[in-house]
Amino acid sequence: MASVEFKNVTKSFGEFKAVADVSFDIGDGEFVCLLGPSGCGKTTSLRMLAGLETPTSGKILIGGEEVTHLHPKDRNIAMVFQDYALYPHMNLADNIAYPLKVRGEPVAQRHGRAKEVADVLKIGHLMDRLPSQISGGQQQRTSLARALVYPAKVYLFDEPLSNLDAKLRLEARGFLNHLQRDMGMTAVYVTHDQAEAMALATRIAVMDQGHIVQFASPIEIYRRPATTFVANFVGNPPMNLVEVEGAQVDGKLVLKAEGLTIAGLAMTDAIGKALTASGKLTLGVRPEHLGIAAAGAVNTITAPLFANENMGPESLVTVDRGDSARVTARIFTDDHLDLSKVVTLGFSAEHVHLFDSAGKRIPALGE
């Protein structure tokens, strides 16, 4: 196991910067997720760490040693590919044992080790099969076994669960979480699925258009998203964002928007600064912090009902504020909600997030 460091790493394809001046540190034993929408540069970052792509500029260190221009074979890493990349002409035993073969281990020894790992992953009985003769979930576990069969400094995962159906994905995710607790491996895990990142990561790097927008623990990212982009990407459903007009009245921050009734909020220097730049702010409230409230109450959003989805343990209630500006509440009840045509959703002041006109988080009082 080893630490990983990116120092001002940039990767350009022609004019286009797929990864732009990215710097971060990953501690020994950390499980870091690169999270972001498709095309934001996650895979490119991972491939540079693996040595499959050379940075245009910047440095990459593994265990304190610079590896920027080192061949992949000399980095002692393991990687699980999105398409699994199982060798179609080798049976599972040879597939899993391949890293040991190139390390010169005798055949009996490497097959023994492959079987051990395969047994843990519950594919030990399939060792004679070819990859085309096993199911997708088994293929995924085979590629995982091939990565785990030798002690690597860093384990890399590129959307390893994206080709599995929903149920298998949950199962595999739980297993990876267990594995991380068991082994304490240093891992970099690429995903566009925020739930996967939240469940697995010790820290998440949220990426957007080649940049890292926020690099923090899952809880921190959930509680204090650095930008509206992060707020809108993390959470299921994501945070509700409402454009508001802000003004200082009698030492309090007063917010105005269609259908919004909110008590004056405590002013801070940061809010003051944002207001001088522009009166336009964004108010954020997570769906799970909204509930059904009495019409006319304070700290509420009132709008026509758009959808009322009962999911079993919870209901998703969506109201439409016009121009597709929708607000969704996640209400934990297994009863059917009987709602009128116009619904009032309430929240408490402590759950309010504020963002300035550029989309940056305005720290709350005491942050």
- Which residues make up the interface to another protein (CB under 8 A)? 50-52, 71-73, 75-79, 81-89, 98-99, 101-103, 131-132, 136, 139, 146, 150, 156
Among 4, 40, 118, 161, the residue binding ligand ADP under the rule CB under 6 A is 40
**Of 42 and 321, which has the nearer Cβ to ligand ADP?**
42
* Burial state string for 35-48 with b = 16 or more CB within 10 A and e = fewer than 16: bbeeebbbbbbbbb
In the block, which residue shows the tokens 């490119």? 44
Q: Does residue number 194 form part of the binding site for ligand ADP (CB under 6 A)?
A: no
Q: To the nearest whole angstrom, how small is the minimum distance from the Cβ of residue 105 to another protein?
A: 11
In the block, which residue shows the tokens 């996640």? 330
Going from the C-alpha of 193 to that of each of 42, 201, 289, 300, the distances in angstroms are 12, 12, 22, 31
283 close to 257: Cβ distance less than 8 angstroms: yes
Q: Does residue number 328 form part of the binding site for ligand ADP (CB under 6 A)?
A: no
CA 130 – CA 159 distance, rounded (Å): 23
**Of 33 and 79, which has the nearer Cβ to another protein?**
79
**Of 42 and 111, which has the nearer Cβ to ligand ADP?**
42
**Of 79 and 362, which has the nearer Cβ to ligand ADP?**
79
- Nearest-CA neighbor of 199 among 213, 215, 219? 219
Residues with Cβ within 8 Å of 203's Cβ and at least 6 positions away in sequence, in order, are: 26, 30, 31, 32, 33, 215, 216, 217, 218
Q: To the nearest whole angstrom, how small is the minimum distance from the Cβ of residue 361 to ligand ADP?
A: 23
Q: To the nearest whole angstrom, how small is the minimum distance from the Cβ of residue 115 to ligand ADP?
A: 34
**Of 52 and 270, which has the nearer Cβ to another protein?**
52
**Of 205 and 293, which has the nearer Cβ to ligand ADP?**
205
Q: Does residue number 18 form part of the binding site for ligand ADP (CB under 6 A)?
A: yes
Q: To the nearest whole angstrom, how small is the minimum distance from the Cβ of residue 36 to ligand ADP?
A: 6
Contact string 42-81 vs ligand ADP (x = CB under 6 A): xxx-------------------------------------
How is residue 98 written in tokens? Answer: 């391949």
The helix (H) or strand (E) run that includes residue 169 is helix 166-183
Q: Which does 259 bind (CB under 5 to 8 A by kind): another protein, Mg ion, ligand ADP, none?
A: none
CA 137 – CA 169 distance, rounded (Å): 9
- Terminal CA-CA length for the chain: 34
